[in-house]
Structure 1
Amino acid sequence: MAWICLVAAGLLEVAWSYAMKLSQGFTRPWPTAIMAVTMLGSVGLLALSMRTLPLGTAYTIWTGIGAVGAFVLGIVALGEEASPARIVAAGLIVSGLVTMKLASSA
């Protein structure tokens, strides 16, 4: 259950970062409200997952899902650059996440 909460928290992190971008510096009320709600949900689910998972594992996975998810969403939805170096960097993050999961005993 902790891993499900953690993955959901990471996905909500992607959602709030995207909503933050759409809020245009908190000048648009709906994206700003969505950002606040998804941010609270993300941190809340992270806290639940930390009841069982080690801090280092949970926080690393959470930020990694957020970073790679925001990277992919930026390319797909916002037309951001998908240079080879950026793709390699995202791949390294994913490999680190997989290694962290495999190394976790919880």
Structure 2
Amino acid sequence: MAWLVLIVAGVLETVWAVALEATKGFSRPLPTVVFAVALALSMGGLAFALRSIPLGTGYAVWVGIGAVGTALYGMTVLGDALTAARVSCLLLILGGVLGLKVLH
């Protein structure tokens, strides 16, 4: 159960990161609310998962999911550069996250 919550919390990290950009400096109410709710749920999920997953593993997996998700969103929706090098780096992060899960 902790791993499922951690994965959902990592996805919510992507949600709050995307919403943060959309707030335009917290000047737009709806994205600001989405940001705050996703941030609270993401942190709460991380805190829950860390009850049974070691801190280093849990935090790295949470950040990795959020970083990869946010980068993919930027490349597919926002027009960030999509290059073989960037995709390779994201695959390395994903491989590290999966490795931490397997070696847990």
- Normalising by structure 2, we get a TM-score of 0.97
- Look up the match of 1:59: 59
**Deviations 1:34-87 (Å, cap 9, x if unpaired)?**
101100000000000001000011000000000000011111111111112111
Q: Which residue of 1 aligns with 2:5?
A: 5
Q: Give the count of matched residue pairs.
A: 104
Describe how 1:62-101 pairs up with structure 2 within 5 A. 62-101=62-101
1:27 deviates by 1.2
Q: Which runs of 4+ in 1 moved over 4 A?
A: none
Tell me the residue number matched to 2:20: 20
Alignment RMSD: 0.7
- 2:28 corresponds to which letter in structure 1? R
SS at match of 1:71: helix
Inter-partner Cα distance in structure 2 for 1:32 and 1:72: 21
Q: Distance in 1 between matches of 2:56 and 2:69?
A: 19
**Percent sequence identity over matched residues?**
42
Q: TM-score, normalised by structure 1?
A: 0.95
Task: Give the AA of the match of 1:5.
Answer: V
Consecutive unaligned residues in structure 1, runs of 5 or more: none
| Secondary structure of residue in 2 paired with 1:82 | coil
Letter in 2 for 1:53: I
Q: Tell me by how many angstroms 1:102 deviates.
A: 0.7
Match of 1:43 in 2: 43
